[in-house]
Each structure stands twice: as structure tokens, then as C-alpha cells.
Structure 1
Amino acid sequence: MIKILDCTLRDGGYYTNWDFSKEVVDKYIKHTNNLPIDYLEVGYRSKPIDGYLGKYFYMPVYELAYIKSNTQKKLVIILNEKDVRVEDLDELLKPIQGIVSMVRIALDPQQLLRAVKLAEAIKTYGFEVGFNVMYMSKWKQYDDFLNNLVHVNGVADYFYMVDSYGGVFPADVKETIALVRSKVDVKLGFHGHNNLELALINSLTAMEEGVEIIDSTILGMGRGAGNLKTELFLTALNSQHGLDLNFNALGDVVDAFSGLHEKYNWGTNLPYMISGGNSLPQKDVMDWVTTRFYSFNSIIQALQNQKEKVKDNEQLPVFKPQGSTKRVVVIGGGKGAYEHVDAVREFIRNDKDVTIVHASSKNALAYQDLENEQIFCLVGNEGHRMEKVFDDLGNFAGQTILPPFPRKMGTYVPSCVKNNSFELESVTFTDKYQDSHTALALQITHDLGAEEIYLVGYDGYNDFPIAEKERQLTAENEFLFNRFLEYSNKQVQAITPTRYDIPMNSVYSMIYDK
């Protein structure tokens, strides 16, 4: 029977930042003990890198020892070849000898020879070695890789074909297996992603073609569109091959991850399908879908443009304000913008020279009838959002401002606001997150020459625990506020409640005598 390697804790870490609660891990260990799974890949062993990444990215020895003492399965860790060299192995591997059975190497096919040298050194520590070779759908483009496959013989215990983009079909699996077998004489493995929901049939095809080991994860938890579902694969093997299966244990381990699935909602969607079908990077799609709020049409257009190596940007007139504006109110998408709307409107109404900059159109309707100049940041899906927020844009009197040309996601501008649409010449205060709502809004205040900038509806996130998407957006906004304050030396303050580390005032203190 086929061997199964479950890599939920390693691959699922892309959603949890490699943090899992002890309760989830304990249930995972307990219930996989009663399932026909051979290996558990529990995380990376990594050298320190900037930023926070959790326990299962670094896999401390104490955690590996704890898991080892409670599981009947062989343990696996993975090394990212691009970050690890032979001289790092003493530090990474010596402490886990006798605990971990297999070390896998995640590698770009164009770095095969470098990975072979790394694998030769790993073998001296007594571990099984697996090669996880990415970008399977593009292997035929790499002549050097194909010619160098022979060097894997005698080094790898398992050679994995990784469908990184989730876009191969069963015929591709068969063809690739035949190609690899013509070059190497080692056991083969398959790691399928689920962009086109073909991970199961591709894995079954690989199995029929004699592949010895298959990767899977509970509920398909994994980067982007996710992986072959362990529970689905085991059920198929039970149905078609009579695999003895404890369905109570299977249900229990699925339940352990159901809360995470509800929180992160991994799985395929239309942009992931397009990226898989065209072998385009999931990383870009994951970012666009989860943190940038782009429309599906925008994402798909951008993916198609990547494939064809073209830019679909429409160049607009550059935003060049006539004169300067002393005071600007920036209105974000938080609840504070409508919970305190009467006070904010009173503050703005008292000074017709105040310019309103809508970082998001979400709360814009409540301020529509004010006579002050209004500017709308048009990022990602905002053009479509404006059409939903306003029943009628026919009398639109504001301006819409887009990020500088060229833009990652192309351009969507509602036709009725086209004549009042402009783009920034540049974003000068930061080289990161230049296409974000907040970066655009802050740059507009700078270009307007504002001396006083008041933030409304930049609440921060009050829910706990904070979801990964909100955590990333919070960190992004904090970074942008800090950079802008350092760059501009302007008076910036939030006048509605905020959790951001920025100066605060109360809109009510500013209108109490009005």
C-alpha cells in the first residue's frame, strides 16, 4: 500500500504564521496515531530570519521531543534549500538526531546540484532524505535540471514531484513520472496542490503509476488553494483498495482543524484556478485575495497579463492640486467613521476649507452632501465599491486618485467619474505598500500641502484573536503611519478612537463650543 506523509503543521503554517495551539497539536498527534499515516512532517528547521514566524517554522528540539514521545509515526522536518548551506547542518540537525526520521529539502529545480551537495551532507547525520522539487509544471523548460537528475541517484530516498501551481492534469503526472524514471532510480513521491481541485485524481494517478509516497494535509490545509485532503485520500483508498480505516479517528482529527478552516477559509477560488491553470505564482494571488481586496476581474486580468508579459494600465493625468490645503480629514473604513459621523460632519462643516480624503469608499455616503472638496482613493476594488455605495454617480463632483503608473492590478475607473480621475506622480514617503489605501491617502495629503491631518475611522482591530488578514493590515498601516510621520513632520492625529500608535484627540473636544 502507498505510504502517506501528512504535512499539515508544516504546510498549514502559511495561514497561521506557523503557530498552532497545544490543543490542536495534541488532538492531531492523538488521532493520527489511529490512522494509516506513515510520516508526520511537523515543520521547518530554519535559521533566524527577520520578522515573526512561529514555533513550527523553527521546530525547537523540545517540541520535536514532545511530539516524538506521543506519536507512533515517523517524524519529518523540511529545510528550505535557498536558506540553508552545508555549514548550517550541525546547528540544525545534530540536536534532532534520534528524534526525526527524514529531512526533506524544498528546492527550486534550477538549484538541483546545490541541493544534491546538501543532501549528501544530510545523509551523514543518518536521516532519510527527500527532495521536494517545486514547479513540476515547468520542469521541461529547464534542460540543465533534466540533465542533472542522474545525480540524485544514491542520494535521495524519495524524489517528490511538487505541483506548486496546482495546475497539472493526470496526463501530465504520467508524463512527468515517465520522464523522471528515465533519469533516476529512486522512490518517487507526489505533492499536489488543489487550485483546479485535481489533487485527488492526480495523486491517485501517481499511485497507479507506481509512486511510493503521497503528501496530504488535514482538510487540505496549505498555502493558497491548499493540498490533497488527507481525509479524502484515505476515504478513497478505503473505498477503492479496502484500506482499513478508523473513521472515528478520522472525524476527530478533522474536527481539530475545523475551527482553523472557519477562520482562514483556505481552498480554491477563481483567481487560484487561473493561476493554477497558467502556472502563475500563488503567492501573488494569496496576497491580492487576502489583503489587497482586489476584485476577481482585476486579479484575473493581472494574472493573464503576467502570463503574456504585458501591462494593461491606462495612464491618467497626474494629480496636481491647484494651491494648498491646510487641513485634511482622512476617512477610513472603520466603524468609527459612522459611529461618530455627526460630530465629524460638524467638525468639517465648520471649516469649508477642509478637504476630505476617502481612503475607502465604505463610509463615504454619510459625508456625500458636505460642500467640502472630496477626494476618493481608487485602489483595487474601490471603483466597484463606489458603484455599490452610491446609488447614483451621475452627479459625482469629487476626484478619484489612483496609485502611480504602472499599477500591478491595472485600472478600473467607473465611466461616470472618468473625467475627474487622476493618478499620483509618485509615492515619495515609502517604498513599501505603495498601492495600499493608506499609502495613497497619506501621499494625497502630502501633495495637497496639508499642515494638519485628521484621521477618522482608522479604528484598528478589536477582535481577539486577530485574524491573519487583519494582523497584516494592522502592521501595514502602523508601518505607513510611522514612515509618514518621520518623512513629513506634519501634525497627524486620530480624532475618533483608534488602536494604532498615533497621536489622538477627540472630535468632540473640537466642536464642543460650536
Structure 2
Amino acid sequence: VDILYFADSLGCMNPTDVSFICETIRTVWREPLGIHAHNNKGMALINSLTAIEAGANWCDSTVMGMGRGAGNVNTEALLMECSSRGLHSGNARHLTICSERFDNLRLKYKWGPNPYYHYAANNCIHPTYVQAVLNNVRYKPDQVDNILESLAQNKSSSFNERALRNAVNQVEVHSSKGDWDATDWLKGRKVLMIGSGPSVFKYKNAIISYIKRNRPAVIFLNINDYIPSELGDATIVAHKGFVQCGTEVFITTSMTNAWSGQYSLLKHPIIMPYGRLRTELGAETKNLNILDYGLDVQEGAFHIGASGCVLQWPLGFAYGLSVVTQAGATDIEMVGFDGYSSSDPRQGEMNEVIATYSELQNCLPLKSLTPTNYQISQGSIFEPQIQSNDFVVIIPARYRSTRFPGKPLADMCGKSLIRRVWDKCVEAVAADNILVATDDERIQTHCVDQGMQVVMTSSKCLTGTDRVCEVAHQVERDIYINVQGDEPLIDPKDIHIVLESARRHKSSVINGMCPIENEQDFRSPNVPKVISAEDGRLLYMSRAP
């Protein structure tokens, strides 16, 4: 060991504590000594200086005190104090060139001391508890106070998710019996549950197209500005203390304005445990279509009933799973459930909900159609929904052509090239049996906006045939018809000819061809030449004459 450090892990030390620790360590340790101070009580600087006076050789610090929660000692301030005491010869003011960028980070990640961290330090509460409740928009300031007060009554010097949940449950209303029976409300229907993650905005066009094409039962978890409410079957609100209206979160003692505004515009029912929210909602709910499905909070519980559920988390997601399961849905697809970082307690909480639900006897299959960090099956909002059982028409579309970059999106008399090829294919087969295959997000976005089914392939595909091969690994069919993405004048009858031939010769590769009738086409490198045997079997293909 070269250096011995001690850390103020809970940020609860004062200068007297620091002096005592340094003096005690120095009775048995003569090598370099260091301190890692946290700023929960705003004392990281004075504690670091006290450690120096008591013989410490090393002090950890960060620019602008950057760090999780309350943060650490400020490097600039520490260097200025050391300089004024003759312990540092540099000019700490040179660090001000970093201040603007780091200040933007501070505003984004919200580190620094506040009364909650101070209270936690005084009561030996691990700062991760404070970080967890402050990062959760469900809790109003008075609820944060009550949660921390509950934690202070127990040993909370190390973080434990169950201890946090117990503290939260103690400040929640524990009983709410509903009067609406959800049984068979969604019997036999697939559900699309829409969360509030950034991916909803990013993929909004694809989500809207998916809803219109597949007609799932659409359940919103709180208001969503990006997906039209008329596409939904219900909005779910489960937690007292917040009403989310798009990107704004109203955290008020009275949520009257939020309810009378955004929620009154909904074109579908609102499902909630009304007994838990009645006090704060007031009389403004009288004109709303509320379906009262109850919610009780009980440690270790996940029980789903006809008119209510008993859960260990008062979370909208867990409540929504309960409603949809009791309603008789067949499976649950999700968008906007992006997840958090692995160090965020909310990530663990959501994964625990998923794991516990998945162990229930009546659980439904869960799949996220937008990117997610949760431990859940991953699909794609762009997954094709082919209706035919035996064939699919695939239109390969490459943006990065060396001869004509962006060719699929090139305008042809008011329509893109890829759109004109698609329209020709639609003259031959149903649109549900057609896919555009691409590796470019610009083409993907264009197809979604145009209502054309699209599937993403890798950028490693050198030819259209390679792209069709990748699609074949994603979409299982008997017959794959490759229609070139730059053939806007293709005769739809040719697609029928190839399809019927493929059905007769299922073990063969079918390639359309026609006679070359003039020398110009014969010598043109733009016209592929085909040599076949008398029985039609392909012998050779080349662009050379």
C-alpha cells in the first residue's frame, strides 16, 4: 500500500471528525494519507483543508465539484485556498476556461448540495436514496421529506431498494378498491403500451403507421403529445403526486388545471385507482370518463384481480400490466420504454417489475418495439406484418450508390424512385406482401412517412441479392421475389409470372428474362445478358456482350 485513503461516504463528517480520524491514523501510519470528501452538507472544502492541516498529503477533487448527488470538493476552490496558504504555486483562475462547459453539465445532471442531501447526511442516510427519489418525478417535495424521514427511523447507511420501497409505501395511501371490472375488456386483442421515453418522439411516424396498419389496442401511460389520442383505447394514471402532460410534469398540491386541460381532451377513457387520487383531483374529474381499477400497495405482492390489483410498487407500468392482463389481452408490445443507466435505481426497479410479472401464471408475452435497456424481449417497430403465408416481394434500396448516391429517393415527376417501384409492385400483389430492404435511415424514414413497409439490413450487403438474403433470415416465407429498386417501369404482370413459376418449381431459383431484339441493347453494359439451355435452365449471366 502506497497511500491510505479515508472517505466521507455519507457526507456527514465535520472538521472535528476529520481531525480525529487523521490523528488516529497517523498513530500507526507514516506513509502518505488521502481524503475523499463529499459535499452533502456543503463541508467538503473545509473538511479537505482540515485534513491537510492534520497531515493529509492527497485530496480528491473535481472541477465544479462534479459527482453523483451532492458532488465532491470543488477543484477551483481547493486550489485557491491552497494557493493562499502557500501550498500551491499554480493559478487556479486558469480553470475558469472550463466553467461554461462544466456548468452546462451541472445543470443537466443536477449535482450539488441541497437540503435533502444535508438532511440525509445528518441522519446517516446513504445519498443514493436521495438521488433515487429526486430523480423520480412522481414525488412532490413533501413526499420526498416524508420518505427521507421514514428512512431516518431505520438503518439506512447503505442503499437497499427494498428499504426504499418500504419507505415509499409508508407515505402512500395503501388501499383503493375499484368499482370497474376489467375482465375481458381487451379479450383476444394484442396491446401496444406507449411509455414516455424519447424513442416515442424519434419513431413517432413509424409508431403511428404501425398502429394504423395492425390495429392493436393502444394503452398510453400518461399523456403523450406525439401520438394522437384518438388512436388510443385508454390512458393509465396510477400514482398520486404527478400528472404528466407531454414533456411537462406538473407537480403541484392541486392538479386541477392539468386535469381540466389536457385530460379533458382525450378521446378515450382514463383508467386509474380513483380512491388513491380523489383528494388531489378534486371536482374537476366529474366530466371525465374514468374507469376505477383499484390499487393496494403491499410488500412482495403482485396480485391481479377483476376490479383491482395488489402490488409492491405504485408504478404506472406495473399497474398497466395488471389492467391489460385482467382485460384478457393476448400479448403486450411496448414503445417508449427506453430504460435508465445501470446505476440508476429506477432501472433496477423496472427490471424487478418485469421479472416478477414474468413469473406469474397468467403473465402475457412482453416485447419492446423500440430500443430498450430493460431485460425484455427486443423487437422492432419496423418489423414487417406480412399477411400471405408463402411469398414476399422485396425491393432492395441502397442509398450509397457510387454512380448515383441517393438514387432511391430521387424525384421522378413528384414521386421518389422507390415509391414508383413500390406502386408497380402494388399493382401485382397486396401491399402487405411487399417490403423495402435498406441499411439507410433516410430511406427508412421516407418509407415510413409514405406508408411503405420497410425492414433494416446491415451495411455489409454488397448486392441486392445479399440484402434479400438478410431479409430471409428475418421473414420466413417459401418464396422471396427480388424486384430491383431502380425499375419504376417494371410490368406488374412479370411479378405474377415469376411468382407462379416459383410456386410450380419451389426448389429452383427463378429469374425473369426476355429476348434481346437489337444490337444496341446487346452491346450495352447496362443490359445484362442471359444464356440458357433449351429447357430454360440458366447457364451464364454477364453485362459484357
With structure 2 as the length reference, what TM-score do the two structures score? 0.47
Higher helix share: 1
Choose between structure 1 and 2 for higher RCO, CA contacts under 8 A separated by at least 6 residues: 1
